[in-house]
Structure 1
Amino acid sequence: MGTHYDVIVIGAGSMGMSSGYYLAKKGVKTLLVDAFDPPHTNGSHHGDTRIIRHAYGEGRKYVPLALRAQELWDELQKETNLPIFKQTGVLGFGPSDSAFIKEAIASGRQYALPLELLKAEEVSKRWPGVRLPEGFHACFEPTSGVLFSENCVKAFRQLAQEHGAALSVHTLVEDIAVNRNFVQIETSKGAYTAEKLIVTAGAWNGQILSKLKLNLSLQPKRQTVGWFACDESLYNDSVFPAFFADTGTAQYYGFPSFNGSGLKLGRHDYGQVTDPDQINRQFGIYPEDEGHIRRFLEVYMPQAAGTLKRGRVCMYTKTPDDHFIVDVHPAYDHVVMAAGFSGHGFKFSSVIGEVLSQLAVDGKTEHDISIFSVTRPALK
């Protein structure tokens, strides 16, 4: 492995590995540096599965990116034998005044997405494992579904290396020097230089970006998910969709049971503030690790509220407005960053990799990423 590259990528998780693939595919001499050995269980991409939604409750500006991300996932599937995507459809439900559900529906209408609107009784008739209270409504998007997150990272890694990308694992970044025409990073395995730098280090972005005199409002949070024994005839992936729910007081997301794994569930809007170097990864140390998600199942999916089969701890890195940061460094036009994916970023990692590769090589991207500006008022 050499010491000089066209582009160095710090952080080879979902966003970083994707960008490494798209860079290497263009013939760009690329070095990916990661503190661990991806895919791994220390960041935000483990736990088997992630939802991809196209109609988007977080804001309709995300829809074009979600659709492009889906195209790229479909292309990735053609390049690998690993399962990447399962079209389970995605069900969303909540009270009639839920702003999140309303925005998902509005975004679907604006972009003419296939989206079915359902009343509570229609949901229960179609999926007998769901019990919704009177006054709830739902939307179902049949063309969306589930990404196998660790397989996605594995596939990007394999293909990036096949295209010539270098990968340095178990490598800590100790310092960064930005010069006029190049950058230099000092690592636990030596020094490397490149004309361009991409920083996408997940929960460690705050630490890395502070070395570049950029202090952003990024808050890592400890999150938990659990897999529960369930009636497989009601909740297996051949008959049950992925889902998200706004109960009026909390937000949840979940997955059907794959190969008898059990129904997987997490709470989106709750988690303990943490330091990524100090996080306690033991599931169950807090009563709410299981308590919150079990109570949801008891109310809305009682036949999935069986024995906890396993639990996992991961991290979100939140911004104040829950929008991403994807931009060029305001002081260094040869430094690009992607950060603060706020618990809803993985589905976009294919297109974010494409965006980062374009910003690094061309200084611009074909995609509208204005909502992700590093200089927006919410980050100050």
Structure 2
Amino acid sequence: MYDVIIIGAGSMGMAAGYYLTEAGQKVALIDAFDPPHESGSHHGGTRLIRHAYGEGGNYVPLALHAQKLWEVLDEKTEERIFAKTGVLNFGPKGNTFLETVEQSAKEYYLPLEVMTAEEINARWPGFQLDSESIGYFEKTSGVVFSENAVRTYRALAEKNGADLYTNSYVQAIETTTDRVTVKLENGEVAGEKLLITAGKGTNQVTKLLDITLPLTPVRKTFSWFTAAEEANYEEGAFPGWGHIGEESTYYGFPSIDGTGLKIGRHDSGQPLVDPGELDPFGAYPEDEQETLHFAHEHFSKDIELKEGRVCTYTNTPDEDFIIDYLPGHANVVVACGFSGHGFKFASGIGDCLANILMEKESAVSLGSFRLSRFDESL
């Protein structure tokens, strides 16, 4: 009999599992694959963490809490967890997202440098921004190594006594007021509480409880590039960055350990009819062209595609997260809909989820992510 069963042992689930075991809870982690893996949203090596947040100031306390926990995790392992590369957000002047970045920095007294296009191009020769661009540079932000983080949380959780059920598909869920039974292909697991953090497979799990959440899994791509002037894009010479344009949003990373400049497009993508099916990179004409065109326009004409990969976003209608108890189930919590900007918070969300499940006060309020805002769609 476990204290908590977790279905989906990826970013949020594995973090929550670790923090629960640190508090002495007996935990079972169930995953359809063997994390870290390439069938979810945590692969690809790196994720940005920003503190002055254009998606809304309500995210800032969670980002700062997550940052502290990433740094603590960094000290517990020989794996690399965080690199303070700094993060530059740039785009056209007057952009609402960028103005929110500036407002949240002022509200929370965060270091933020406002830069003209000329200043950006001079400091980082890898950029070639037009004169109408403006940038906001956070020197204390940087890169989280996502697969390393999941791998480290797994090792620490197992060391603390967590049981992992990998390559296991959930067949049915039975709940009572004080017990949850999860039936697998080869047996069943019972516990007092259940946490569902199944990413793109969330609705496949919640439908077993006759609940469908407002989620849209979307196929996304990201790519690595080589450049003739590779030194301009190396870690230490180039920051993490995000570009917010009038009609598109991109993000990227410096070349870390010779991997190449990494670029992805945050908006657009192809909705997945079947979350289990994910077309490979190159299945659509835009896979190779959209990020390459962006690189030539904003960085250098001699940049060439090195490698492309695919992953999934699981989007909510407002692109804010869902973290709440499932309706009608006082012992089932769901955390999902991280909409392509959730990984940076995984440490903080995992810690908060552990406290919610133990009925303790969390370090940060997650009230703005309640499911009730979508009542009409449930």
- Pairwise TM-score range, normalised by the shorter structure: over 0.9
1:366, CA displacement in angstroms?
3.8
**How many angstroms apart in 1 are the aligned matches of 2:304 and 2:269?**
22
Which residue matches 1:175?
A: 172
* Paired residues of 2:65 and 2:364 also in contact (CA < 8 A): no
**How many angstroms apart in 2 are the aligned matches of 1:149 and 1:366?**
22
1:363, CA displacement in angstroms?
6.1
**How many angstroms apart in 2 are the aligned matches of 1:91 and 1:83?**
22
1:227, CA displacement in angstroms?
0.2
For residue 195 of structure 1, the aligned residue among 166, 185, 192 is 192
* Code of the aligned partner of 1:104: V
Q: Does 1:25 align with 2:16?
A: no
**How many angstroms apart in 2 are the aligned matches of 1:363 and 1:211?**
28
Q: Does 1:117 align with 2:114?
A: yes
Which residue matches 2:10?
A: 13
* Code of the aligned partner of 1:270: S
Q: Does 1:135 align with 2:132?
A: yes
**How many angstroms apart in 2 are the aligned matches of 1:374 and 1:228?**
40
The residue matched to 1:375 in structure 2 has which SS? helix
Deviation readout 1:36-64 (Å, 9 max, x if unpaired): 00000000000010000001011000000
For residue 269 of structure 1, the aligned residue among 245, 267, 270 is 267
**How many angstroms apart in 2 are the aligned matches of 1:371 and 1:9?**
23
1:135, CA displacement in angstroms?
1.8
* Code of the aligned partner of 2:84: Q
**How many angstroms apart in 1 are the aligned matches of 2:233 and 2:176?**
55
Q: 1:223-302 alignment to 2 at 5 Å? A: 223-230=220-227, 231-274=229-272, 275-280=274-279, 282-302=280-300
1:330, CA displacement in angstroms?
2.6
**How many angstroms apart in 1 are the aligned matches of 2:9 and 2:174?**
20
**How many angstroms apart in 1 are the aligned matches of 2:118 and 2:158?**
51
Which residue matches 2:102?
A: 105
1:379, CA displacement in angstroms?
6.9
**How many angstroms apart in 1 are the aligned matches of 2:376 and 2:358?**
26
Q: Does 1:151 align with 2:145?
A: no
* Paired residues of 1:325 and 1:372 also in contact (CA < 8 A): yes
* Code of the aligned partner of 1:211: L
**How many angstroms apart in 2 are the aligned matches of 1:228 and 1:205?**
33
> TM-score, with normalisation over the residues of structure 2?
0.97
1:213, CA displacement in angstroms?
2.5
1:365, CA displacement in angstroms?
3.0
Q: Does 1:84 align with 2:81?
A: yes
Matched positions, count: 375
**How many angstroms apart in 1 are the aligned matches of 2:48 and 2:361?**
28
The residue matched to 2:350 in structure 1 has which SS? helix
The residue matched to 2:232 in structure 1 has which SS? helix
Q: Percent identity?
A: 47
Which residue matches 1:41?
A: 38
* Code of the aligned partner of 1:172: Y
* Code of the aligned partner of 1:278: E
* Paired residues of 1:320 and 1:379 also in contact (CA < 8 A): no
> TM-score, with normalisation over the residues of structure 1?
0.97
**How many angstroms apart in 1 are the aligned matches of 2:361 and 2:282?**
45
Where do 4+ consecutive residues of structure 1 move more than 6 Å? Answer: none
The residue matched to 1:311 in structure 2 has which SS? strand
**How many angstroms apart in 2 are the aligned matches of 1:81 and 1:373?**
36
* Code of the aligned partner of 1:277: G
Q: 1:59-78 alignment to 2 at 5 Å? A: 59-78=56-75
* Paired residues of 1:21 and 1:157 also in contact (CA < 8 A): yes
1:180, CA displacement in angstroms?
1.7
The residue matched to 1:338 in structure 2 has which SS? strand
Deviation readout 1:294-325 (Å, 9 max, x if unpaired): 1101110115x522111110000000000000
**How many angstroms apart in 2 are the aligned matches of 1:346 and 1:202?**
11
**How many angstroms apart in 2 are the aligned matches of 1:20 and 1:294?**
39
1:364, CA displacement in angstroms?
5.2
**How many angstroms apart in 2 are the aligned matches of 1:277 and 1:130?**
38
For residue 347 of structure 1, the aligned residue among 344, 347, 357 is 344
* Code of the aligned partner of 1:264: K
The residue matched to 2:371 in structure 1 has which SS? coil
State the Cα RMSD in Å. 1.2
**How many angstroms apart in 1 are the aligned matches of 2:181 and 2:218?**
30
**How many angstroms apart in 1 are the aligned matches of 2:155 and 2:244?**
38
* Paired residues of 2:177 and 2:330 also in contact (CA < 8 A): no
1:132, CA displacement in angstroms?
1.4
The residue matched to 1:368 in structure 2 has which SS? coil
1:171, CA displacement in angstroms?
0.5
Unaligned runs of 5+ in 2: none
**How many angstroms apart in 1 are the aligned matches of 2:13 and 2:183?**
19
The residue matched to 1:57 in structure 2 has which SS? coil
The residue matched to 1:252 in structure 2 has which SS? strand
1:189, CA displacement in angstroms?
2.5
**How many angstroms apart in 1 are the aligned matches of 2:338 and 2:19?**
20
The residue matched to 1:309 in structure 2 has which SS? strand
